[in-house]
C-alpha cells in the first residue's frame, strides 16, 4: 500500500474533512481514502461532460441518436407561475 502526505492543508479544509468523517462515521483518514477512491472511479468514467452528453449517454441504448444541445453558456430564466 502506498502512502500520501498532504502538507499546507488549510485549517478550514481539515475541519470540514473532520466533520464529514464524523457524519459518515469514519476516521478522517478513511474519509480521505474514500474521497480519493471516488475521485478516481469517477475520473475513469470519462472526463467531465455536459448535461446533454450525459443524457445522450444514458439513453443511447434506447434509440436516441440525435445530439442534445448543451446548456452551458445559455441564460437560464426561472419559470413564472403567475396567472
Q: How far is CA 63 from CA 56, 57, 58, 67, in A?
A: 10, 11, 11, 12
Is 81 a residue whose pLDDT tops 80? yes
Q: Residue 68: count other Cβ atoms within 10 Å of its Cβ.
A: 14
> 47 or 53: whose pLDDT is higher?
53
Look at phi and psi of residue 23 and say left if phi exceeds 0, alpha if psi is from -120 to 50, else beta: alpha
Domain borders along the chain are 11-62
Q: Residue 69: count other Cβ atoms within 10 Å of its Cβ.
A: 9
- Determine the average pLDDT of the residues in 14-23: 95
Q: pLDDT band at residue 41, thresholds of 50, 70 and 90? A: confident
Cell numbers for 40, please give them.
Answer: 478516481
H-type alpha helices, 45-75: 51-59
Amino acid at each position: 500500500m502506498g502512502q500520501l502526505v498532504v502538507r499546507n492543508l488549510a485549517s478550514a479544509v481539515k475541519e470540514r474533512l473532520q466533520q464529514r468523517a464524523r457524519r459518515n462515521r469514519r476516521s478522517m483518514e478513511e474519509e480521505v481514502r474514500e474521497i480519493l477512491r471516488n475521485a478516481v472511479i469517477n475520473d475513469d468514467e470519462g472526463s467531465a461532460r455536459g448535461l446533454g452528453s450525459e443524457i445522450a449517454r444514458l439513453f443511447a441504448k434506447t434509440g436516441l441518436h440525435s445530439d442534445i444541445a448543451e446548456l452551458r453558456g445559455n441564460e437560464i430564466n426561472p419559470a413564472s407561475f403567475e396567472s
